[in-house]
Structure 1
Amino acid sequence: MTDLQSWVAPTYDGLADLLASAPAETWDAPSLCEKWQVRHVVAHVTMPARLTPEHFGAEMAAAGGDFTVLSDTVAARDASLPLADQLDALRSPLLHAWQPPGGAAGALNHAVIHSLDVTVALDRPTVAPGEAVVAVLDQLTAANGALFGVDLTGVRLEAADTGWSWGSGDAVRADSGLLVALLSGRTLPDGRALPRG
Structure 2
Amino acid sequence: MNGYISNLAPFMAEFIEFKNALGFQYKTGAYYLRQLDLYNSEHKNLSVPDRETVEGWAMLHAAKSVTGDRSWISPVREFGRYMQSIGHEEAYVLDDRFIIQRYHAEVYLMTESEIQRFFDECDRFVMNYKALGRPYVFPALYRFLYCCGARCAEARKLKCENVYLNKGYVDILQSKAHRDRRLYLSDELTEYLMDYDKAISNCFPGREYFFPGGHGGI
TM bracket, shorter-chain basis: under 0.3
TM-score by length of 1: 0.27
Q: Which has the larger radius of gyration?
A: 2
